[in-house]
């Protein structure tokens, strides 16, 4: 189970880091035309903040355990992703974007798996 948690946290971390970097580095207009229509509901600084939080969660899912420095931050980062995914699902629900909700629910479930495993029976 420990290996599964490492793999899931690493993949989730890489995905969060990439998704967050995209939101931080690209202008909101480009994101909106690239299929992220939800950015039109938020200011540019809010989108950048969401991206930065995703990047922090991505780093927090991998580095603390890999460097053995405050590994308790891994499930804390996963909890942060849970909160982000709840907010994202609510946003997509309000916009009636069902595909977005499905992705958010899957990421929410994977994040909860890391929270359960690292706070629970397979903590560091």
102: domain range?
A: 2-119
What does the DSSP 8-state code read for residue 68? T
The span from the CA of 18 to the CA of 5, in Å, is 20
Q: Is residue 124 part of a domain?
A: no
Mean pLDDT of the chain: 96
Residue whose entry in the numeric block shows the structure tokens 């309000």:
94
Q: Give the CA dihedral 31, 79, 59, 51, nearest 10 degrees.
A: 20
Q: Is residue 107 part of a domain?
A: yes
The span from the CA of 49 to the CA of 13, in Å, is 17
Domain count, the chain: 1
The span from the CA of 39 to the CA of 23, in Å, is 9
pLDDT digits (tens, 9 = 90+) for 4-23: 999 999 999 999 999 999 99
pLDDT digits (tens, 9 = 90+) for 54-85: 999 999 999 999 999 999 999 999 999 999 99
Q: Is residue 100 part of a domain?
A: yes
């Amino acid at each position: 189970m420990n290996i599964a948690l490492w793999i899931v946290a690493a993949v989730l971390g890489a995905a969060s880091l990439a998704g967050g970097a995209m939101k931080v580095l690209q202008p909101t207009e480009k994101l909106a035309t690239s299929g992220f229509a939800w950015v039109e509901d938020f200011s540019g600084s809010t989108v950048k903040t969401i991206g930065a939080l995703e990047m922090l969660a991505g780093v927090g899912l991998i580095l603390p355990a890999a460097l053995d420095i405050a590994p308790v931050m891994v499930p804390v980062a996963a909890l942060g992703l849970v909160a982000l995914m709840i907010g994202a699902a609510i946003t997509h629900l309000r916009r009636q974007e069902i595909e977005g909700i499905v992705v958010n629910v899957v990421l929410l479930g994977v994040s909860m798996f890391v929270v359960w495993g690292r706070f629970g029976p397979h903590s560091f």
